[in-house]
Structure 1
Amino acid sequence: MRTLIVGGYGSVGHTIAEELATASEGPGSVIVAGLDWNGLHRGAQFGEFWTGNGWDDSGRDADHLTVRTTVRHGLSHVRSFWESQGVWPGRPTENAGQIQYQPPTPADLHSSACAECEDDVWTGSRDPFVAEYDTGDVCGYCCYECYFTHRTQNHLEEVMGEASVYIPPK
């Protein structure tokens, strides 16, 4: 039975999914087909993320973490929880691919300072270059040279390769 988990904590969602499966196809027939839980985003706004043991608020003192990074951290715990229950799909489901990676844009920047030279990224003749790294950081740059230098010197990797870099039109 494919199940879309809508809201609720992992253990509550698992209990309900098992009850649905038992009523229709028998125990152990649950496969998570998707998660729809705004609670992760709401919690992340307060520096909290979900774990298999409940909410963890240790992110409240982590000013360096963005809401996006905290949500991703919570999602990794959600996935681990469902994998431990044996119901996370081992292969993509027919619903896979409906949510696609959204590359960063200048609107994602939290600072106008270039991550490399600290010049204002908005004073040039072009919009800023923006890159999202696998560390969760989204950095803005005043030019391609600053982007390349900062990335290279700090051994940074984009989260989705070239798709994670916004290069402004000329």
Structure 2
Amino acid sequence: ERYPHNQKYNHFTSDSINWRTEKWLSPISKQEIAEYDNSVLYNDNVMKKIFDYYRNTNAVIVYLSDHGEEIYDYRNSKGRKNIPMNKMLLKYQYEIPFMVWCSDLYKNKNTNLLSKLKSAQNTPMASDNVCHLLFRIASLKTPYYRSIYDILSPDYRCRRRIVADKIDYDKMMEK
């Protein structure tokens, strides 16, 4: 189960998806989209509770998904299937939400870092480099830190982003 099935989180139904008019979308497909949307609603509520819990502390929270998800976004398919590889598949299955939330106290104590975070918000990166960002924002000193993988560093270089073991994400998206 992705979310509690109660009145609060059973917000979306197949009727909520009526704006989607593709011929291949069945009522069952629309219900699956609605259930996915309900799971996102639940996740958003969980994140809000976490933010509220830490709101009055010196806190920073980094959130990212472990994978993307295709739910009948552009074809009659759901889940993570790598065939046929194309730009749309890359968008829905490999682009993930990533955010950094900072409490007001953290923002006030770390204005320089906050400025760097804002400047980096549209910078390409791969999730396997997140640890270097975490080292930076937590002020952790470790021999494993590499500034070239830290999105906030002037040394940062986005390395090739390979998906499905062999596909260069950025080259595919340029096509």
TM-score (norm 2): 0.30
TM-score (norm 1): 0.31
More strand by share: 1
